[in-house]
Structure 1
Amino acid sequence: MTARTALIVRGGWDGHHPVDATNLFVPFLERNGFAVLIEESNEVYADEALMRRTDLVLQSVTMSEISHEAQAGLAAAVRAGTGLMGWHGGIADSYRASSDYLQLIGGQFATHPSKDPALRVGDETDNYLTYTVEITDAGRAHPIMEGIEDFTLTTEQYWVLHDDLIDVLATTTHPVQPYHPWHRPITSPVVWTRQWGAGRVVVATPGHSVEVLQVPQVQAIVERGLLWASRTGSE
């Protein structure tokens, strides 16, 4: 039987540990019958022949830029059935200048609210909040979230700008605090899927560090999302 092909594209800002984070899931992909190809440049998306035979893309590229040819190649592959999965800034904060990429993904990182100014110490933990991931009704009926109940994380809580073509499987709510400028609680998607042509897109916003990706619920969401998004994934 011919192995499925998973393409890992990683790079961008090192603060999201794209190498260590994606390496965490290579053994899982291999155990599930994928031949894994790893690329450090998103220009691989412009390789039409390679993308045509790629069943799944796992992207971890925070910020950075993407050429028109590479973006068009990725979008064409997804429309034709290639799955696309990623987490945190590696997919939801990629290629900020590309509106076509943002339309493909369906959501974009806006900010991660920080702690009370009196509690900040000047490092990345200033943006670590304890928050609840709440599973939606659609999530409870979806194979990615099966058996997962609401859970808490202490990490960056992503505020996401998004459209209504996404299917939201889990959410989080940003509360009102006296040191923030908004005036009512804001709910953001935490896990969503998107059908784009014949392809499936899965986005999970937790994943700032390898430790967060190893939280059992987060790891399960990523692993199930990879399988579900793949061209030959289960319904």
Structure 2
Amino acid sequence: MTANRTALVVRGGWEGHRPVEATDRFLPFLRENGFQVRVAETTEVYADADALATTDLIVQCVSMGEIVPEELEGLRAAVEAGTGLAGWHGGIVDSFRASSDYLQLVGGVFAAHPAVPADEAPAPGEEYFREHVIEITEAGRRHPITADLDDFTLRTEQYWVLTDLLNDVLATTTHPAEPGRPWRRPHESPAVWTREWGAGRVFVATPGHDPDVLDHPSVRTIIERGMLWAARGSG
């Protein structure tokens, strides 16, 4: 397919989320769907107004990073003008938690991933891996990103995120009230959402801790559809 739109993949931050390997999985998909793809290993590109003006989609995978004011202003201005922003897991909701303006843009921030109860004796590195269900909402069943998908189960980190009411929530996950937990009733947390910001669109999926999760058929479908939905010029 001839490339007629531009996607910018911005990656970096904490290596535990394997930003290069994770984003590399989606580069062929973007190219097959008509995007000329550029890759940036730092957020400095966000301060380049000319580059962002010709960018139709930003795919961000930067966990626990920092962003300077000029970069953040450029990112916010680009999305407001129509550039789409898409991402998953910590690469978008645990990117720049010190910036309230960034959190307002994406509509959510990672708060916790409750550990596995001690009596389950998790394997090293899997202390936060829990079996949990991603449930498609009624709105999600009508949305092109999640339409025709059923609820599905993952064994990975279950994100607890703080959000606001401007999001259109397409899928949720429920944290149980377990013995020894400080919360007293089950807590439903959004797992997939979209957000409109000016002329731009924002897409977020909280699953995606590692390549195995990204390779889950439903997670991969949601992310691929989410990127296409967010891009400038999508229906």
Q: TM-score range by the shorter chain?
A: over 0.9
Aligned AA (1:76): A
Q: Give 5+ residue unaligned stretches, structure 1.
A: none
1:133-172 matches, within 5 Å, as 133-172=134-173
More displaced 10-residue stretch of structure 1: 177-186 or 115-124: 115-124
> How far, CA to CA, are the matches of 2:40 and 2:180 in structure 1?
42
> How far, CA to CA, are the matches of 2:136 and 2:95 in structure 1?
25
Q: Secondary structure at the match of 2:126?
A: helix
1:13-32 matches, within 5 Å, as 13-32=14-33
TM-score normalised per structure 2: 0.98
Shift of 1:2: 5.9
Shift of 1:146: 1.4
> How far, CA to CA, are the matches of 1:90 and 1:2 in structure 2?
26
Moved over 6 A (4+): none
> How far, CA to CA, are the matches of 1:118 and 1:137 in structure 2?
36
> How far, CA to CA, are the matches of 1:121 and 1:174 in structure 2?
18
> How far, CA to CA, are the matches of 2:69 and 2:124 in structure 1?
35
More displaced 10-residue stretch of structure 1: 109-118 or 46-55: 109-118
Q: Residue 193 of structure 1 corresponds to which residue in structure 2?
A: 194
Output one character per residue of 1:103-146: Cα deviation in whole Å (capped at 9) or x when no partner: 00100000001111123457321100000111001000000001
1:177-216 matches, within 5 Å, as 177-216=178-217
1:33-182 matches, within 5 Å, as 33-121=34-122, 123-182=124-183
The 1:139/1:121 distance shift into structure 2, 3 A limit, reads closer
RMSD, aligned CA = 1.0
Q: Secondary structure at the match of 1:104?
A: helix
> How far, CA to CA, are the matches of 1:108 and 1:41 in structure 2?
21
Aligned AA (1:109): F
Aligned residues: 234
Q: Secondary structure at the match of 1:211?
A: helix
Q: Residue 218 of structure 2 corresponds to which residue in structure 1?
A: 217
The 1:180/1:49 distance shift into structure 2, 3 A limit, reads same
> How far, CA to CA, are the matches of 1:122 and 1:153 in structure 2?
17
Output one character per residue of 1:12-42: Cα deviation in whole Å (capped at 9) or x when no partner: 0000000000000000000001000000110
Identical counterparts, % of pairs: 59
Aligned AA (1:92): V
Q: Secondary structure at the match of 2:50?
A: helix
Q: Give 5+ residue unaligned stretches, structure 2.
A: none
Aligned AA (2:180): Y
Aligned AA (2:39): I
Q: Secondary structure at the match of 1:126?
A: coil
Shift of 1:179: 2.3
> How far, CA to CA, are the matches of 2:99 and 2:216 in structure 1?
32
Aligned AA (1:38): V
Q: Secondary structure at the match of 1:221?
A: helix
Q: Residue 3 of structure 1 corresponds to which residue in structure 2?
A: 4
